[in-house]
A = this chain, B = another copy of it.
């Protein structure tokens, strides 16, 4: 299990490749990558987080996923600080013998990360700055697990 919270960019291709090296037993790898959308004239995004709690929350979510599905590995990388349109924000990766387990665990990680990990996004555009509002959808997405 590898969990990183960092201001620096990460290399999605290199991280995916390294994760997929695995142990030769997994068979199925799923990754999710979140990118800053350049819609609406967005000039930059700032992500604030709660140092300490963030790492605890992500470890708890990854631990829950590993308890529910037979995963051989889990990766979570999430950035904070200033990001530009097109920048990678975060990624998760799951490895399992079974494709369904790898898919479900990755979706579970994303659903919980969205609503339970203490990150807040602020968008800067032509009309000024605005904190991104949480979606009701994000909270209801948890109900399926």
Contacts and interface: CB of A to CB of B under 8 A. Distances in A.
Interface of A: 11-14, 16-18, 20, 22, 24-39, 85-86, 88, 97, 99-100, 102-103, 106-107, 110, 141
Contact of A32 (B26, B30, B85, B141): B30
Contact of A16 (B16, B97, B102): B16
Nearest to A103: B107
Contact of A29 (B17, B35, B85): B35
A74 to B, nearest CB: 15
A110 B100 CA distance: 10
A9 to B, nearest CB: 12
- Dominant secondary structure of chain A at its interface with chain B: mixed
Nearest to A32: B30
Nearest to A22: B35
Contacts of A38: 24-25
A33 B20 contact: yes
Closest 9 pairs (CB-CB, A-B): A13-B17, A29-B33, A24-B38, A13-B13, A27-B37, A24-B86, A16-B16, A31-B31, A13-B16
B39 A25 contact: yes
A37 B22 CA distance: 11
Contacts of A20: 12-13, 33, 35, 88
